[in-house]
């Protein structure tokens, strides 16, 4: 799994809070992640439009991964709230084949437009991770 807590250091940001949520890899639980995403982005003073974009991006990342999830797998979503007013999100799940999502799809294009920075990775255990980073445009940025 990608350690999202390291990613902000590369951008010069320091994580101020890290929140990890693990749920069954089932679309019935995605509303929990959408709600958590909105609440955490609001803590960073994201605008309503930025919050909604991030909620949709996290939902889309989860949807992309759920199609590959192993039966009875858990989806993990790690949120890192950074001192620079950005939020980084790593969504990961153990998959059947360990294949990263294609970057040539319409879904990836939408994800990139909504989240700003998007990447994916896979490890030797077939855990696939999609990472998002969105910078808020709050009053101090």
Write down the domain spans for the chain: 7-135
Give the pLDDT of residue 10.
46
Topology adopted by domain 7-135: Heat Shock Protein 90 (3.30.565)
Note the pLDDT tens digit of each residue in 97-115: 999 999 999 989 999 999 9
Strands, sheet with 15-24, edge to edge from the N-terminal-most edge strand: 15-24, 74-82, 86-94, 127-135, 117-122
Which ranges of the chain have pLDDT less than 50?
Answer: 1-11
Q: Return all residues near 44 (Cβ < 8 A) that are at least 6 apart.
A: 81, 85, 86, 87, 136, 138
Q: Which two tokens stand for residue 138?
A: 């709050």
Q: Is residue 100 within 8 Å of 2, Cβ to Cβ?
A: no
For 133, other C-beta atoms within 10 Å of its C-beta total 21
Give the pLDDT of residue 5.
39
- Cα–Cα dist 82/35, whole Å: 19
- Cα–Cα dist 31/109, whole Å: 23
Q: Is residue 66 within 8 Å of 25, Cβ to Cβ?
A: yes
Give the pLDDT of residue 102.
92
CB environment 18-52: b (16+ within 10 A), e (fewer): eeeeebebeeeebeebbebbbebbeebebeeebbb
């Amino acid at each position: 799994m990608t350690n999202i807590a390291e990613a902000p250091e590369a951008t010069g940001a320091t994580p101020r809070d890290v929140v990890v949520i693990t749920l069954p890899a089932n679309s019935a639980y995605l509303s929990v992640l959408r709600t958590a995403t909105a609440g955490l982005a609001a803590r960073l003073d994201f605008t309503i439009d930025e919050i909604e974009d991030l909620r949709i991006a996290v939902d889309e990342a989860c949807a992309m991964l759920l199609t590959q999830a192993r039966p009875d797998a858990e989806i993990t979503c790690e949120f890192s709230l950074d001192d620079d007013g950005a939020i980084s999100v790593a969504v990961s799940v153990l998959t059947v084949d360990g294949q990263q999502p294609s970057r040539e799809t319409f879904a990836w294009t939408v994800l990139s437009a909504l989240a700003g920075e998007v990447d994916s990775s896979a490890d030797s255990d077939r855990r696939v991770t999609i990472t998002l980073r969105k910078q808020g445009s709050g009053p101090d940025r």
